[in-house]
Amino acid sequence: MAIDSGTWINVGFYIYVSIAFAILALGFNLQWGYTGLFNAGIAGFFLIGAYTAAFAITPPTPPSIGYPGHLGGFSLPLPVGAVLAMVASGAVAALVALPTVRLRADYLAIATLAFAEVLRIFAINLESITAGTIGIPGLPAPVEFNPPDAFLNATVKVAVSAALILVLLLVLYFMAESPWGRVLRAIREDEEATMALGKNTFQYKLQAFALGGALMGLAGWLFVITLNYIEPTGSSAATTLGFAPAVTFSVWVMVIVGGAGNLRGSVVGAFVIYGFQWLSVQLKDLAPTELKEGIPYLRLMIVGVLLIVLIIYRPEGILRERKRVLR
């Protein structure tokens, strides 16, 4: 059976972008679903990972007329870029966590949102480092085919992403269902009671937040090697592919849909929510002309409605968290 090359490239795009979102969702689930830390700055950690990877793996592009230049260009191998992205995001997350995890949930949300926005302002304006809104060119794909073959390219990207998410799920499952993960869940349930049981909750919250941040950085790496472009504003204010707050809010929906504390649920949630957005783009041509321009906005409005409906009626998610029966 021959798959039409164009369709495969399209579907492949859907798959590997969903996986990038799934990794973001896993990171947020670790922070909020397991530990109760409501991070409203997901886009910020995503941005750090993406730019760190970009600096690391691209060839140098010196400044010239009309191009401000950017930091790095070390042409490092892709896996090194991944590690660096995780380390950078994780370290920044730890720093951000130090003063904020002790705060009430809403303060944490405001502080992290502010953090992400400040980061975005820097990314847009520090042109000599990030090349501003023009973006960094030359982002390499996992395998460069010669002559360039979009079909094979898509296949490789899907394979890399799929392998990555499988490994991540295994590792995270191991960590989250361990005694360590149990302490995190206890903190989410009742932090005072957990302290009274002899746990240093501050340390656990710090670890969960930093690890979640590292995962978001990894998602950033995957994003740039599959999409092969990076720039800080996204193609429009309504986009969810970028580093604007809309990304953060979309990830919230994915984790709420998938269920807090449910790792597989986060992946499913990502595929569902992004799937809906991807579908709306695909079906755009079928829509009546009056609706056509409104589609990106309608999408986000539906995300908004979902958030409201879910949080009122099904806050624990559509996929439930399982009861842990210990033997």
Partner 1 sequence: MAVIFLTFLAGLAALFGISILQYTLAGFRLSSIVIVAAIGLTVIYGIRGFANFAYGDLMTLGAYVALFVNMNLALSLIWGAIVSFLALAVVGILLEVLIFSRLEGRGPVPPIVASVGVGLIIQNGINWGGTTQQWIFRIPAVTEIPIVPGIGFHWIRDFGTFVVGIVFVVSVHILLTYTNLGKAMRATADNLELAKATGINTKRVTYAAWALSCSFASTAGILLGLIGVLSPTMGFNVILLIFAAVIVGGIGSPYGAVLGGLVIGLSQEMSVPLLIWLERPDVLHLEHSTAYKVAIPFIVMIGVLIFRPWGIAGRPPAFARRVFFMERLTQVLGRRGDATEPVQGEGGG
Partner 2 sequence: MNQTAGHPILSVQDIHKAFGGISAVDGCSLSVAPQSVTGLIGPNGAGKSTLFNIIAGLYRPDDGSILFNDTRIDGLPPYEIVHLGLSKTWQIPHELRNMTVLENLVLGAKQNSGEHLLNLFIRPQGVRRDEQRWRARARDVLKLTQLEGLANEHAKSLSGGQKKLLELARVLMTDPALVLLDEPVAGVNPTLAASLMDLIEKLRLEGRTFFLIEHDMNVVMNRCDRVIVMHQGRTIADGTPASVKANPVVIESYLGG
Least CB distance to partner 2 at residue 136 (A): 34
The site partner of 125 among partner 1, partner 2, none (C-beta below 5 to 8 Å per kind) is: partner 1
Burial of residue 313 (number of CB atoms within 10 Å: 0-12, 13-18, 19+) = exposed
Cβ 48 to partner 1, closest distance in Å?
16
Tokens of 260: 């807090």
At closest approach, how far in Å is the CB of 42 from partner 1?
12
The listed partner (partner 1, partner 2, none) that binds 197, CB under 5 to 8 Å by sort, is partner 2
- With CB under 8 A as the rule, give the number of residues binding partner 1: 51
Backbone angles phi, psi at 48, to 5 degrees: -60, -45
Told to check if 148 binds partner 1 by CB under 8 A, we report no
Cα(257)–Cα(260) distance, rounded to whole angstroms? Answer: 8
Please identify, using beta-carbon distances, which residue of 221 and 252 lies nearer to partner 1: 252
Residue among 16 and 249 whose Cβ is closer to partner 1: 249
DSSP labels, 208-226: HHHHHHHHHHHHHHHHHHH
CA dist 80 and 78 (Å) reads 5
Q: Choose, by CB under 8 A, the member of 100, 130, 153, 262 that binds partner 1.
A: 100
Contact pick of 195, 227, 272, 287 for partner 1 (by CB under 8 A): 195
Q: Which does 136 bind (CB under 5 to 8 A by kind): partner 2, partner 1, none?
A: none
Query: Does residue number 284 form part of the binding site for partner 1 (CB under 8 A)?
Result: no
Question: Using CB under 8 A as the criterion, which residues of the chain lie in contact with partner 2 when the complex forms?
Answer: 174-175, 178-180, 182-183, 185-186, 189-190, 192-201, 207, 321, 323-327
- Nearer CB in complex with partner 1: 19/246: 246
Contact string 127-146 vs partner 1 (x = CB under 8 A): xx------------------
- Choose from partner 2, partner 1, none: what does 148 bind? Cβ within 5-8 Å by kind: none
**3-state DSSP: the chain helix, strand, coil percent, rounded to 5?**
70, 0, 30
Nearer to partner 2, 157 or 188 (CB): 188
Angle between helices 201-227 and 78-100 (to 10 degrees): 140
Query: Smaller CB distance to partner 1: residue 10 or 239?
Result: 239
Q: What is the rounded distance in angstroms from the CA atom of residue 12 to the CA atom of residue 264?
A: 20
Looking up tokens 């033997």 gives 327
301 binds partner 1 (CB under 8 A): yes
From 221, 235, 261, select the one nearest 135 (Cα to Cα).
235
Distance, CA of 134 to CA of 119 (rounded, Å): 17
86 binds, among partner 2, partner 1, none (CB under 5 to 8 A by kind): none
Binding to partner 1 by residue 311, rule CB under 8 A?
Answer: yes
Which residue do the tokens 């029966």 mark?
325
Whole-number Å distance between alpha carbons of 45 and 220: 8
Angle at 245 between CA 314 and CA 17, to 5 degrees: 80
CA proximity to 258, closest of 34, 93, 9: 34
Contact 31, 208 (CB under 8 A): yes
Q: Choose among partner 1, partner 2, none what residue 175 binds, the Cβ cut-off being 5 to 8 Å by kind.
A: partner 2
DSSP alpha helix (H) spans, 66-104: 78-100
Sites of contact with partner 1 (CB under 8 A): 38, 98-100, 102-107, 109-111, 113-115, 117-118, 121-122, 124-128, 191-192, 195, 202, 237-238, 245-246, 249, 252, 256, 293-294, 297-298, 300-301, 303-308, 311-312, 315
